[in-house]
Structure 1
């Protein structure tokens, strides 16, 4: 068979272990799609390029493996930037592959090609971990392998490869790609830093742990549980670290990071061990946390070490740190800390705010969703509630809180479902409109995604931030009729029937939409 440059792309991805590719075709990328057609890789086409990038992110999160997507040049490539930003903020290993205009249009020439950009790669450099630009077919396997390795090396994140149209389409006599080396780079901590961390923790009377997403990505949950037990240290999890620690464990502070009672508990620690978190604004109650003891920050991204708080900064993966630390810890009596009392204070504060609807909705969803089912939450009021209140259990909780973009949840859930469903996505009516076309994707592929749309007639979370709503009130469609027009079963639900309706939808063999007409409110902030 006559082979072209695009076949080298597909063969390299296959050799690297890819199984599923997301994307959206375009004129300059047709060679890639021709090669995909001839390959064993599964292709799931989205209806827009942002959705393809979101889907790759969702798939990468639930599999923990690099997930590629392919798009065309210019506007197609640029539309993926929102998805790549979220992947970067959430350390999701996504590999974006884009075509380019023909080679004679590169290097500053303005030949007037369709979709031509004078420097397309410049748009991606400050978003992704690496940019690879191919100039000959023989460079394709190495470029993709380097990008794959970069995406998987901690801190994980997206990488980008672009290949000119003529190179994708040109004939090649290179042998099929069968071997590539992509061993991830692992940062190893300096032994003296581990010893100093052990010294501080061994001497601590009131140690507390703040566990971030780095613990989950490192699959270090068991090691964290063992450490907490040995130190008798309470553990709070960041919003990105949901699932790092058992929600109902006696040492669990859960994730009420926007509550002043939790903030004060973290502040009173004589040693605060921060695992896999950059201590950004959402993890520190909008920067109001003021630790009074020593802080140890373990973070795979060196740029985040001590970016917001002075600390003993240790650049390494959470699992490596916990493994090295365990041999230097000394088991000794420590002061009991009132975890239950803190959680009781949080609940008492909520009890006084008339939030029965909101808390009831979260309980109904948790009741309906099996423990192992992954959930994806958009930037909507219920999503904000879930950051603090959702017990992720084994299925995990995923949200776009890294970059905070609307419209992420449903396409990301579609990507996750490609790894095996069912999956739940939760959006507001405003965010739902960003990805409404992906109902066609769900129907075409029979994706086992249940989409709960909370219809409150506008951007509900933005209403919370402004005294006089302006630009937040929205005309919206009949979501039930619209979903049915795509061939997706849909129904309305209510707070009283939500648990039963969700249970039934999640048991179906394909996509389903439930529309809840309700106007939930946020709990009162306590960071002021």
Structure 2
């Protein structure tokens, strides 16, 4: 009797000859890039540093495309977006100590948003490892400890023979649901030493499927089929699992209204008769969801933003499908189904009974009318017009990347993404500086369509150096900077809380002149000319900057009453 694990792939004579005669001039860095290529990577992001030079030298002998950014954190944001757009693990090459640590905020965002980033960092030489104080440049007592609380998994290499397997294990970890960032570190001497090992060929790092338990989907299907007022909250897990089509069919079969979280933008068609859109920071929407007798939550942990700042108190039964085990029932008791959204929605599609409910579309229309009346009662014409101008100027299939700025807060609730996996923001971890470098990563993934980045002037200063990157690689990214002279949302928060703001006002450059100094076209626009100027910039090849001097305000919160 032959077992599968007894089967061994025998090398061909040509493979044996190649293995016995590896090409000269290779080092440990070659094993890194050969492994990445064997796993299917085509592009790497990063920034060189002293201990990492072995990896960067090896790129010369590799088919991998290298996109170098000017700050490690921005390189991490670019890799994050590349991973979100492609669904593949995005390699991020970093150096030891300061270089590695500077990527932490980007890796936190990738973790919060489940973006598959494969960070590979150098380490001090092997002789210095072990937590001592050997005095090496960039030395940390335990570099990996700085990342364990942020990334999904940490992989430490000590010898060249460990490199392929460690990177393959990290790749598999990054792409197993829930996706996320992973960390590999390799000592400088291991990267620099001559490599006598054979060239690394195709590696097997197939991610594991996370399928639901059938007894749980049977219970969920029974609850949903016999509900009087079912409703669905669709989160980012639906987008990442490429399951928006299954979600739509399930909602139609159940006649269940759907609201998307800010991370799940595009998971459900905006203008569908069952679409409640994304108005989660709205008491009318919260009331509607609380009134559901069975609420299906797919791919969301119902965190702060998705629960209207934890004011959401469901009265009915909750069914939660979530790939991240730690988020399962973390905020609300539920029939918790630990699974990726795609197989779980497929299981429900096959087992729910079709519901007839002629009232659902009308209830959705009534809800959206109440939301519209609430917004219309506030003096927010400027903000609504600016957001509408952005939507009209942006091609339907172009992705957009939003920094933590007031217009992005509007977009979470009010922007129609016109498709899944097209609108992304930093709302997972909430750090500044995400929009522009992330857009560069998306343009690297698909340079055939223009990409929009949206920042405030405060967030723009975090990533202004990447204008050089945009120009160097001629990436088709248009950067809209809303210049309100400070940290606008913090100005509002502080004024509301304390009566006046502190530390929110900023001296800033002439962004148009600054862009032009990088060789990037820039234009200063007005709310009235924004649509035309933005459309023109997006249609032109290469990078561009559009600056809108404007003080925007948020709509009044409704989670307080």
For the criterion TM > 0.5, the same-fold answer is yes
CA contact (8 A) 1:205 1:335 kept: no
- Partner in structure 1 of residue 253 of structure 2: 230
CA contact (8 A) 1:256 1:388 kept: yes
Secondary structure at the residue paired with 2:185?
strand
Q: Deviations over 1:245-290 (max 9, x none)?
A: 0000010000000010100110100100000000001001001111
TM-score by length of 2: 0.93
| 1:520 maps onto 2:545 in alignment | no
- Partner in structure 1 of residue 282 of structure 2: 259
Match of 2:234 among 202, 211, 217: 211
Match of 2:453 among 383, 401, 425: 425
Q: Deviations over 1:110-137 (max 9, x none)?
A: 2101001110000000100011110000
CA distance in 1 between counterparts of 2:463 and 2:399 reads 19
Structure 1 residues 322-331 or 3-12, which shifts more? 322-331
Deviation at 1:512, TM superposition (A): 0.1
Match of 1:54 among 77, 87, 98: 77
CA contact (8 A) 1:232 1:336 kept: no
Deviation at 1:183, TM superposition (A): 1.1
Secondary structure at the residue paired with 2:445?
coil
- Partner in structure 2 of residue 121 of structure 1: 144
| 1:83 maps onto 2:115 in alignment | no
Deviation at 1:445, TM superposition (A): 0.6
Deviation at 1:60, TM superposition (A): 0.8
Match of 2:393 among 348, 359, 368: 368
CA contact (8 A) 2:27 2:195 kept: yes
Alignment of 1:446-457 (within 5 A): 446-457=474-485
- Partner in structure 1 of residue 16 of structure 2: none
Alignment of 1:182-331 (within 5 A): 182-331=205-354
CA contact (8 A) 2:255 2:355 kept: no
- Partner in structure 2 of residue 29 of structure 1: 52
Secondary structure at the residue paired with 1:464?
helix
Deviation at 1:335, TM superposition (A): 6.0
Match of 1:398 among 421, 424, 429: 424
- Partner in structure 1 of residue 438 of structure 2: 412
Structure 1 residues 326-335 or 435-444, which shifts more? 326-335
Q: Deviations over 1:343-382 (max 9, x none)?
A: 0110101111010000000100000000000000000000
Secondary structure at the residue paired with 2:155?
strand
- Partner in structure 1 of residue 541 of structure 2: 509
| 1:103 maps onto 2:118 in alignment | no
Deviation at 1:109, TM superposition (A): 2.6
CA contact (8 A) 2:250 2:348 kept: no
Deviation at 1:334, TM superposition (A): 3.2
Structure 1, gaps ≥5 residues long: none
- Partner in structure 2 of residue 379 of structure 1: 404
Secondary structure at the residue paired with 1:327?
helix
CA contact (8 A) 1:206 1:334 kept: no
Deviation at 1:179, TM superposition (A): 2.5
| 1:130 maps onto 2:158 in alignment | no
Give the number of equivalent residue pairs. Answer: 528
CA contact (8 A) 2:177 2:323 kept: yes
CA distance in 2 between counterparts of 1:233 and 1:45 reads 46
CA contact (8 A) 2:291 2:315 kept: yes
CA distance in 1 between counterparts of 2:58 and 2:196 reads 15
| 1:486 maps onto 2:518 in alignment | yes
CA distance in 2 between counterparts of 1:308 and 1:372 reads 35
RMSD of aligned C-alpha atoms?
A: 0.8
| 1:458 maps onto 2:458 in alignment | no
- Partner in structure 1 of residue 64 of structure 2: 41
Q: Deviations over 1:120-162 (max 9, x none)?
A: 0000001000111100000000000000000000010000000
CA contact (8 A) 2:78 2:442 kept: yes
- Partner in structure 2 of residue 444 of structure 1: 472
Q: Deviations over 1:21-51 (max 9, x none)?
A: 0011111111111001221100010001111
Structure 2, gaps ≥5 residues long: 1-23
Q: Deviations over 1:56-99 (max 9, x none)?
A: 00111111110001010000000000010000000000000100
Secondary structure at the residue paired with 1:477?
coil
CA distance in 2 between counterparts of 1:333 and 1:229 reads 10
TM-score by length of 1: 0.99
CA distance in 2 between counterparts of 1:86 and 1:433 reads 18
- Partner in structure 1 of residue 43 of structure 2: 20
- Partner in structure 1 of residue 5 of structure 2: none
CA distance in 2 between counterparts of 1:321 and 1:493 reads 47
CA distance in 1 between counterparts of 2:350 and 2:490 reads 49
CA distance in 1 between counterparts of 2:456 and 2:519 reads 21
CA contact (8 A) 1:206 1:233 kept: yes
Secondary structure at the residue paired with 1:208?
strand
Secondary structure at the residue paired with 2:554?
coil
CA distance in 2 between counterparts of 1:18 and 1:507 reads 30
CA contact (8 A) 1:206 1:335 kept: no
